[in-house]
Each structure stands twice: as structure tokens, then as C-alpha cells.
Structure 1
Amino acid sequence: MAGGKGGSGKTTTTLGLGRALSRRGAPVVAADADWDLPNLARLASATDDAREPAGDLPTVIDAVQTTGEIRPDRRAPTVLAAPDDRGGADAGRVLASLAEALPDDAPVLLDCPAGASPDAAAPLRVADRCLLVTPLRRAALRDTAKTAALARRLDCAPVGAVAVRAESAPAGVGELLGCPVLGRIPSAEPEPLSDSSVRAAYGDLARRLVDAHGARWRVA
């Protein structure tokens, strides 16, 4: 999940899409790759269908180095938090090691740092492809286009875009980002992941991704 700025909806989309894939029986892993501003575990613990309190969630580095293997649950996403000691670990190496610690047929969603910075490049280098997440504001779209260009340079082609807090998306959005708009997530506050229309939108996004790109995933 990549986007132009913080607050664009990447973390909510990572968890919302992960839960939608879990509802289809997939052994999903959602990993926080934004080590400077980690909030994936906190969001998972704050929403109503989280499995574990945030303090009990494994970190990426501990889950890989301690167990050597991660066995994701098929009932709900396994959330990997950022390491507590982020200064002592190389993000690119840790994220790359997930491929050895996880089953080949498990969808792995990385919640990337915002923008086109070196921090954002680390997860994009190890990912197979990226999903762009953006509000439909001019500045946000412009910054997301820069992130898309970085992803392409790192051989992590954007497969599509998700327009958040939007009921529809103009045709020009796909042209600007160079990929189709695969999902439109309506606005719902204060807890969007508890809203039935938002859950349905993420369910539709999951279906589109599975149909187009999920050939090796274990998904019903």
C-alpha cells in the first residue's frame, strides 16, 4: 500500500483489505513497513474485530528472528507491528526475510511510508507490486503520481489505485496514475472499518484483486 502523503488512508486500507481477504479464507499477513510512524497495530487493536491487544502483536523483526516461521490464521489477518528498537534493524533486510518466514500462498500486505522517500523505497523494493491509495484532492493525487513513478523505477508496478473517502472517481485519475481505479471507499467516521458500506467496498476491492492478481494466493 503506497501513497503520496500521511493520512491518505494506507493503514486503514491495509487492514480493511486484509480483513476482506480473510473473510474469503485467505491466510493474510499485514505488516507495518512505516517504521517512523507505525500505527497499523494500534488501528488493529482499536477496531472491533481485532484478535489481540496491541501489546501482544508480534513485531516484524521478532516474528522472523525468534520463530523463523510465521503461520498466519485464516480467520483474521496476522498483524506484524514495527520493531520497538527500529534503530538497530535494516528495514529492507527485515521485510525481505518475510518471504522465507511465510507460506508462498499467503497474501502479504505492506503498509508503506508516505511519499517517494528512501524510507518508502525499502518496502517497494521487496514487494511484487503496489496498490496506490489516495484521496481525490489535487495535491494528494500529484504526490501519489510521484510515488507511482518511484514504484515503477523499483520494478514494483502499481496494479491499481484505491480512491478513499470517495463514492466515485473521474476517469482522469487512472490516466494520471497510469493504472485503473480498483476501489472506491466511502467516507465513514469515526470508525470506518466498522461501517457496513466501507466493509462492502473493501470486499469488492478484494474480489477484484483476487480475480486479476491472486492466482498464487490461497483464497476462496
Structure 2
Amino acid sequence: MIGVIGAKGGSGRTTTTLGVAQAIGTRQQPALAVDCDWGMPELHLLANVDRYPIAKLSDQDQIPTQSQVRRPDQWSTVRVLPAIEPTREQGIQQMLDQMRWEGQIIVDGPSGVGQTVSSIIKASDQVIVTGTGTTVGIQQTAKTIRMANTLDTPVISAVIREGTPPYNAFNGIIPECRVHTVPEISDDPLSATATKDAYQEISNAIGSVAQKEMV
């Protein structure tokens, strides 16, 4: 399971979730993009699929059913699970820990560094941190990376949009080779060759970064 997190709204978490899912999914084992941003669910909008009707997942193994999972018309290698808020008794980390899918699961988290983001980091084997190239954006991205490091969840990549971060901007908290930039394309970015190439490069890093040891 890969969590996509970022402290700043508009940093490209949802686009990155679908871009990476598109890059690593296959026809035989599609990647499952899961929307955990219940305050502002946009994954289904970007994927152009319906959010409703949505049934609750089972109390045991969280195996999404065909009635819950959406298949975007434009991507045969991606499935989408629109925002399902866990019960208060269950909690986000338990819901994700119990979720089962044959392919890779990519979780689209909310902005910020609150409890929900912390739970997503803990439930994930690896995380991708998104941010912008502004001074404030770099500071917020560094803060999120440090949070993942503190929780012992490996960071696959810091994905920066709207500019290129200064050299060694994340010195000491993430290797320079794991900092990637994604071009800013306003019109259908997930279909643009430059954007697809960028997400393919990020997805290639997944296997090279050690996963968290689950106790």
C-alpha cells in the first residue's frame, strides 16, 4: 500500500494518485486508487466516475466489491474506490490495514499533517509526498517527509509541481534522487506525455525503496 500525502492543498495529491496508479497497474492486476480525503473527495471527479451509490465495506477483510469499485473508461489498468468514511469504531488505520486487493493500492489522503494523515502513513508500506516549488511549499513538504520518517514509513518520492526546488532542499531527510518534478499542465494532465513520463519515473522508484517492516 502506498500513501499519497501532502501538507498543502492543491499540491497535486489526487493527480499523483491516479498518475502513479496508471503507471504501475496492469490489465491483469489493476492498481486500486482509494480516496481517503472525505472533507474534499475529488478522486472520482478526476477519474470521471460516479461516487454513488457506495456500500460500506465488510467488518472483516476489507475487500472492495464490484459494486463499490469504479473503472475509468480511459484507463484499463486503474480502478477507483470513491471516498468511504470508516465507522468511528473502526478508524482509518484499521480500515486500510484490513483492505485487500490483488494489485497495488494507492491511497489519496487529505491535506495537512493531522490524525488522518498520520493513520494513512502508519497503514502504508511506503508514501509519496507532494508539494509545490514555492518557499512555503518546500517547507511544508519537508515537514511531511519528517513526519513519515518519524513514523518509520519510507518515502518513495517528493513530487514537486509549480517549479523546481533548490538543490539539496531536502538535504538530510530524503536522497536527492527521490525528488521528482511534474510539469504543470492544466488541460488533461494525466493524458500528457510529459506528465505520464514523470509518473512512470516515480513508479520505477517503488521497487528500489525498501518497504516498511511490518511487525
Q: Which residue of 2 aligns with 1:154?
A: 151
Q: Which residue of 2 aligns with 1:171?
A: 167
Verify: 1:127 aligned to 2:159, yes or no: no
Q: What TM-score results when the alignment is normalised by the length of structure 1?
A: 0.76
Q: Which residue of 2 aligns with 1:54?
A: 50
Q: How does 1:1-220 map to 2 (within 5 A)?
A: 1-22=4-25, 26-45=29-48, 53-55=49-51, 61-62=56-57, 64=58, 69-70=63-64, 75-83=76-84, 90-98=91-99, 101-103=100-102, 106-166=103-163, 168-175=164-171, 177-180=173-176, 181-210=178-207, 212-213=208-209
Structure with the largest fraction of strand: 2
Number of equivalenced pairs: 200
Q: Which residue of 2 aligns with 1:50?
A: none
- 1:47-96: per-residue Cα shift (whole Å, max 9, x none)? xxxxxx3246867x43x559953489893211111126876862222122
- 1:165-207: per-residue Cα shift (whole Å, max 9, x none)? 34x4432223164343342211111321122211121122222
- Stretches of structure 1 that go unaligned for 5 or more consecutive residues are 46-52, 216-220
Q: 1:134 to 1:56 in 2, by over 3 A?
A: same
Structure with the largest fraction of helix: 1
Tell whether the 8 Å contact from 1:159 to 1:179 is kept in structure 2 after alignment: no
Q: What TM-score results when the alignment is normalised by the length of structure 2?
A: 0.78
CA shift, 1:117, in A, is: 1.1
Identity %: 23
Determine the C-alpha separation between the residues in 2 that align with 1:55 and 1:115: 24
Tell whether the 8 Å contact from 1:182 to 1:208 is kept in structure 2 after alignment: no
Determine the C-alpha separation between the residues in 2 that align with 1:129 and 1:57: 30
Q: 1:86 to 1:194 in 2, by over 3 A?
A: farther
